[in-house]
Amino acid sequence: MRQTRLDPAAEQAIDWMVKLRAGRTSQAQQARFEQWLHSDAAHANAWATLQHSLGQPYDTLRQLNSRLPSGTAQELLLQPSSSRRNLLRGLAAFGLLGGATWLGARSQPGQALLADFSTGTGERRHLQLSDGSGLDLNASSAIDLRFSSRQRLLLLRHGELVVQVAADAGRPFIVRSAQGSVQALGTRFLVRQEADATRVVVLEHSVRLSLANGTQRVLLHGHGALLRGDRIDLLTGEQPYQADWLNGRLSVLDAPLGDVIEALRPYRRGLIRVSPQIRQLRVQGVFPLDDTQRSLAALAETLPISVDHYGPWLTLLGPKNQ
C-alpha cells in the first residue's frame, strides 16, 4: 500500500479539524486557528474545501461565534446535551441561526450536537438510565430520551445501540427509528439504523416490531430482522454475533465488502471510498474495531483489492491491479 501526502495547506487544515473536534477548544487555541486561517489564501481555500466535504458543523460554529457575544459558541459546546439542544433551538427561534446553518444541524454531525447522548468516531459508551436500564452506544451514534409516567421512549437518530431493559410493568420500553419501533417484551436487544432499514437483533427474550402501516411481528431470542418502510424482513441464522462490537470486534459471516466497510466507518476518521467493482466481494472473519488500519490490511491480504491511503483523511479501496 502506498502513502501519498496531501499538499501542506490541506494537511494543516486536517490537523486543525482534528484539534477542534477533540473537545474543549481554549481561547488561545481558537486564536491560533484564526491566525492560521487568515494568514494565507491557501489556508482559507484548504479549510473551505475540507468544510465542504467533511466538516460543515465547524464552519457553522465559527459563523455563530461572529454573530454572538464573545465566547458564546464555545460555551454552547460545553453545555450539557439537553441545555445545548434547547439553547440551539432558542437561537434558531430568534433568527440567530440562518437557514443553511440550521439545516446543518439536521445532518448526522448536527444531530449528534443536538442529541441527549452521542458518541464520536471510535467511541463506545455505556449509560445507566434513570429507570435502571443499561444502554450501550456504538461509535458515531446519537439518541434522544423521552421518558414519561406512561412510557419509556428512546429515539435512535443514527448509529447503533444495545439496551438491557429494566422491568417496569406500567411503562413500556420502546426504541423508535426511521423505519418503525421496537418494544421490549423481555430484556436485551440490539437496534441499528442503516441507510434504508433498521436492523434488530434479540439477545434475550423477545421484542415486538411495529411499522407505521400497522404491520407487527414478535421477534424471539437469537433472531434478527430488518424493518423497512413497508415490510419486515426476517434474517436467517443466529444473529447475536452482531453485538460483538461491545467487545471491540467486528464479526463477519459471509457479508459483502461494502457492508464491512460501513461497519468500520464509525471507527475511522476521514473518508473511505469503495469502488463499485469490489463492493459485493464476500467477506468472513473477525476484525478489530479499534485498529481499523489492521482490519483494512487484513482485508487487502485476503481479497483481490488494493487499499491506498492519501494522508490521514482519505482511503480508497479498489480492485487489485493484475
Write down which residue in 114, 145, 167 finishes a domain. 114
Write down which residue in 114, 133, 150 finishes a domain. 114
Whether residue 289 sits in one domain with residue 206: no
Q: What is the pLDDT of residue 209?
A: 98
> Domains in the chain: how many in total?
3
Q: What are phi and psi of 111, to 5 degrees?
A: -60, -40
Q: Classify residue 274: in a domain, yes or no.
A: yes
DSSP 136-204: EE-SS-EEEEEE-SS-EEEEEEEEEEEEEPPP-TTS-EEEE-SSEEEEESSSEEEEEE-SS-EEEEEEE
3-state secondary structure of 74: helix
The CATH number assigned to the domain holding 311 equals 3.55.50.30
Q: How many other CB atoms are there within 10 angstroms of residue 78's CB atom?
A: 11
Whether residue 274 sits in one domain with residue 215: no
Write down which residue in 80, 114, 148 finishes a domain. 114
Whether residue 186 sits in one domain with residue 154: yes
Whether residue 107 sits in one domain with residue 15: yes
User: Residue 4 — pLDDT band, cuts 50, 70, 90?
Assistant: very low
Q: Classify residue 106: in a domain, yes or no.
A: yes
CA 320 to centroid of chain Cα atoms: 30
Q: Classify residue 1: in a domain, yes or no.
A: no
Whether residue 190 sits in one domain with residue 287: no
Q: Classify residue 3: in a domain, yes or no.
A: no
User: Whole domain around residue 101: which residue ranges?
Assistant: 8-114
Of 254, 255, 208, 256, the C-alpha closest to 232 is 208
* β-bridge partners, 126: 136
Whether residue 101 sits in one domain with residue 205: no
Whether residue 293 sits in one domain with residue 223: no
Span 217-243, pLDDT tens digits: 999 999 999 999 899 999 999 999 999
> How far is the first Cα of the chain from the last one, in angstroms, to the nearest whole number?
15
Q: What is the pLDDT of residue 115?
A: 74
Span 163-199, pLDDT tens digits: 999 999 999 999 999 999 999 998 999 999 998 999 9
Whether residue 104 sits in one domain with residue 184: no
Average pLDDT (269-283) is: 92
Average pLDDT (115-127) is: 91
Whether residue 146 sits in one domain with residue 59: no
Residue type, 259: D
Q: What is the pLDDT of residue 86?
A: 53
Q: Classify residue 77: in a domain, yes or no.
A: yes
Calpha distance 163→134 (Å, rounded) = 6
Q: Classify residue 227: in a domain, yes or no.
A: yes
Whether residue 234 sits in one domain with residue 128: yes
Three cell numbers written together for 235: 434474517
The CATH number assigned to the domain holding 148 equals 2.60.120.1440
Q: Answer whether 18's CB lies under 8 Å from 269's CB.
A: yes
Span 133-174, pLDDT tens digits: 999 999 999 999 999 999 999 999 999 999 999 999 999 999
Q: Classify residue 2: in a domain, yes or no.
A: no
Q: Classify residue 190: in a domain, yes or no.
A: yes
Apex 309 CA angle, 253 and 56, nearest 5: 95
Whether residue 257 sits in one domain with residue 185: no
User: Residue 85 — pLDDT band, cuts 50, 70, 90?
Assistant: low
Percent of the chain with pLDDT over 90: 57
Entry field: residues in the chain: 322
Whether residue 137 sits in one domain with residue 49: no
